[in-house]
Amino acid sequence: MQFWVIAVIDSETKLLCLLGNPVAHSKSPLLHNALIKRHNLNLVYLMFRTSNLDEALSGLKAINFLGANITIPYKSEAMKFLDRIDGDGKACGAINTVLNKKGKLYGFNTDVYGIRKSLNVRKRKVLVMGAGGAARAACLALKDNEVVVVNRNYSRACRLEKDFCCRAEPFKNLGAIMKKSDVVVNATPVGMFPHCDASLIPKRLFEKNHVVFDMVYNPVKTKLVRDAESCGARTISGIEMFLHQATKSFEIWTGIMPEIESARKVIV
Ligand code: NAP
């Protein structure tokens, strides 16, 4: 993703960034730089693809970055390099936001908040696909539901069964689980740019009473969402979660909670 950032850089400019691998799909730099400009702050948001999170975080500390977002695949690994972690981060074993305060790194999980804001369901049967950081956030945010986790690597799904009040099932049972589910959550990168024609669920398995939430937000309408919509299911784009988690991170770094609808206009 390419866009112009017109910013005045001086010795007081503070830096924010995204750390992950890959990062090319991300709209975080676009959104955060627009919010920075709107609120007239002396900040710039960059993105770095890294294969060494430990050194990347030490580097941020050494040059006094204000903070960072952590994305795929580092949300759980990041925990061990931080000085303190917030309640949701501890409870789900993954963080996505780092604040550097006087040389100490504080970790937060704003994904849990983003999911709660996007998908308000209780006492429903929920299928979560994936067992990484985003799936862990889903299990925590949806703990008032009956959650079944399926994942390519079954033993990783079993770890979620141990850590949260949910049930792990092998992928081969997907058809039967779909029949019993009210809500379907994709917490894997399948369908994400540039592999936009991929989906983990065959179209024939969707029913019109399903609520389908895809955390992938680039493209805004993934194949999973398009297939579900064409079967009459209600769908929620990952853009909703993206906006809520991103504005919450912005508040952690700056003390300013941006207005959600004006943030939406930047990225949709
Ligand atoms: P992660 O920690 O790397 O976990 C990825 C998960 O996806 C793992 O369970 C992995 O299975 C599974 N997976 C990966 N490739 C797969 C494939 N080809 N087929 C089947 N399963 C596959 O990543 P994450 O941080 O949880 O993020 C997952 C997705 O959620 C990403 O696309 C991310 O952009 C999105 N997300 C969106 C938002 C938002 O604001 N909308 C926020 C957070 C995350 P294995 O265990 O078998 O490897």
Residue type for position 75: K
For 217-254, b/e burial (b = at least 16 CB within 10 A) is: bbbebbbbbbbbeeeebebbbbbbbbbbbbbbbbebbb
More confident residue, 25 or 144: 144
CATH superfamily ID and name for 14-109+242-267? Leucine Dehydrogenase, chain A, domain 1 (3.40.50.10860)
The band of 4, judged by pLDDT with boundaries at 50, 70 and 90, is confident
Pocket test for ligand 1, best of 25, 30, 32, 72 (most atoms within 8 A of CB): 72
Q: Is 73 in the pocket of ligand 1 (CB under 6 A)?
A: yes
Domain range 113-240, CATH architecture: 3-Layer(aba) Sandwich (3.40)
pLDDT for position 118: 97
**What are the pLDDT digits (tens) for 152-209?**
999 999 999 999 999 999 999 999 999 999 999 999 999 999 999 999 999 999 999 9
Q: Per-residue pLDDT for 7 more than 90?
A: no
Q: How far is residue 136's CA from residue 56's CA, in Å, rounded to a whole number?
A: 24
Q: Per-residue pLDDT for 98 more than 80?
A: yes
For 31, the token pair is 């959104």
Q: What are the residue ranges of CATH 3.40.50.720 in the chain?
A: 113-240
**pTM of the entire predicted model:** 0.95
Catalytic residue among 14, 27, 61, 75: 75
- End-to-end Cα spacing for the chain: 14
Q: Is 242 in the pocket of ligand 1 (CB under 6 A)?
A: yes
Q: How far is the CA of 172 from the centre of ligand 1 (A)?
A: 19
Q: What are the residue ranges of CATH 3.40.50.10860 in the chain?
A: 14-109+242-267
Minimal CA–CA distance to 215: which of 250, 197, 240, 182?
240
- Going by the DSSP 8-state scheme, the letter that residue 214 receives in this structure is E
Q: For the chain, what percent of residues have pLDDT higher than 90?
A: 95
Q: Per-residue pLDDT for 8 more than 90?
A: no
The band of 34, judged by pLDDT with boundaries at 50, 70 and 90, is very high
Atom 28 in ligand 1: residue holding the nearest Cα: 188
